[in-house]
Amino acid sequence: MSNPISSTYLKKLAEVAVKVGLRLEEGQDLVMTAPLEAVPLVRLITKAAYKAGAGLVTTFYGDPEATLARYKYAPDASFDRSTDWLFEGMAKAYDNNAARLAISADNPMLLANEDPEKVGRANKAMSKATAPMRKRTVEFDINWTIVSYPGADWAKQVFPDDSEEMAVQKLAEAIFAASRVDRDDPIAAWAEHNAVLASKYKWLNEQNFASLNFVGPGTDLTVGLADGHEWAGGEAPAKNGITCNPNIPTEEVFTTPHAQRVEGHVTSTKPLSYHGTLIDEIYVEFEAGRIAKAGAGKGEDVFLKMLDTDEGARHLGEVALVPHSSPISQSGILFFNTLFDENAACHIALGQCYSECFKGSKTITQEQIKKQGGNSSQIHVDWMIGSDKIDIDGITQDGVRVPVFRKGEWA
């Protein structure tokens, strides 16, 4: 069998990563993270970046086998540690205006058979160590993006009944379609898509809803929106003056909930893959914005540990709207990868909010964000609550209900 990953489309994906995702500027450095398996894409992106005038392109590789070796042989104290020095260095690079690119390709179930206690501790140490670095991207100091590569173990997870080669080919095709690189002119297709998303968030910004009410099977949730919240989606202006497309693909428009004004109960509609563990059938109840009761049909230990990361982990940091007719949803594929699955359904995120989702986001301070209801946490974990059975009403500042979604589609 020939290479299951089309080299033509992989090259186009590298171009989209540099020219749409990052919009790398001449002289700008690039810091990339990727699993070893994604070397073919890393090399194409490196070439495209230098052709676009990049100063220095530096890639840090991860290796899933090395990760598993740690769980098998490392001393217990290893699981409370992380490579702080590396993440500090990366944060320093971003302070010097380096752009950031992450390639996602890993097996989402890599850690499924490891001790959940160790997984939880390692995740916590990692979240803490990456916090300063994450701050630079979450607050859009610099242009950044994430793209995906069809790793073999990930592909086998998504298409378990196929041979490895067939599974990789199918996942590659799904990634290329969702990333719009199978179009004649992917860069023009992204410009068009960004305009559609902009029309949706502009309407929501005009409405300036006080809250959104989600109703569906197992769900009656009222999400109060932060004071002075702003909706965003698609391309986003970074503080360094470059407008980037932070996720390839992306189908969502999203904003910041009020951390103290969420009430009711909600049931997840798709499994969540969290650092190698599958969490499914999540059920939570909110009181005054805080999760008061929580459970999950699968992966409950890891889910509850995640909620204990810090106080902010029990409050919402994002609410996002995605129609059921989105191409990723219509593909019918469960990717076990938040980057894709969150773009197939409406979702909420526990933890850190995005400062771009406030009016005056370029100058707003952390104190102001907190005062207006923005949440802060070491985590930001999205999970899906949308389906073709969900209705959403917007509730205006005067208490009037406006249909926003009916049966999973824009009303």
CB contact set of 65 (below 8 Å; sequence gap of 6+): none
Phi, psi of 310, rounded to the nearest 5 degrees: -165, 180
**Binding piece for Zn ion, criterion CB under 5 A, among 153-161, 256-264, 287-295, 334-342:** 334-342
Q: Where are the alpha helices (DSSP H) in 308-352?
A: 327-330, 338-341
Nearer to Zn ion, 235 or 382 (CB): 382
Cβ 380 to Zn ion shortest distance, Å:
6
Give yes or no for residue 153 binding Zn ion (CB under 5 A). Answer: no
Give yes or no for residue 353 binding Zn ion (CB under 5 A). Answer: no
Cα–Cα–Cα angle for 247, 386, 293, nearest 5°?
105
Cβ 402 to Zn ion shortest distance, Å:
22
Burial of 397 (0-12, 13-18, 19+ CB in 10 A): exposed
**Binding piece for Zn ion, criterion CB under 5 A, among 47-55, 98-106, 327-335, 340-348:** 340-348
Cβ 343 to Zn ion shortest distance, Å:
8
In 3D space, the residue among 149, 134, 50, 124 whose CA is nearest the CA of residue 100 turns out to be 134
Contact 324, 345 (CB under 8 A): yes
Give yes or no for residue 320 binding Zn ion (CB under 5 A). Answer: yes
Cβ 49 to Zn ion shortest distance, Å:
26
Dist CA 281 CA 267 (whole Å):
7
**Binding piece for Zn ion, criterion CB under 5 A, among 230-238, 254-262, 264-272, 299-307:** 254-262
DSSP 169: H
**Binding piece for Zn ion, criterion CB under 5 A, among 157-165, 189-197, 217-225, 319-327:** 319-327
Give yes or no for residue 232 binding Zn ion (CB under 5 A). Answer: no
Dist CA 411 CA 406 (whole Å):
5
Give yes or no for residue 393 binding Zn ion (CB under 5 A). Answer: no
Any idea which residue has 């390692």 for tokens? 122
**Binding piece for Zn ion, criterion CB under 5 A, among 34-42, 263-271, 364-372, 379-387:** 379-387
Cβ 351 to Zn ion shortest distance, Å:
9
DSSP 247: B
Sign (positive/negative) of CA torsion 257, 263, 267, 271?
positive
Nearer to Zn ion, 57 or 316 (CB): 316
Among 37, 106, 382, 393, the residue binding Zn ion under the rule CB under 5 A is 382
Give yes or no for residue 318 binding Zn ion (CB under 5 A). Answer: yes
Q: Identity (one letter) of the amino acid at 117?
A: E
Among 133, 171, 349, 395, the residue binding Zn ion under the rule CB under 5 A is 349
Give yes or no for residue 133 binding Zn ion (CB under 5 A). Answer: no
Nearer to Zn ion, 176 or 254 (CB): 254
Dist CA 54 CA 18 (whole Å):
10
Which residues lie near Zn ion (CB under 5 A)? Answer: 252, 254, 318, 320, 342, 349, 382
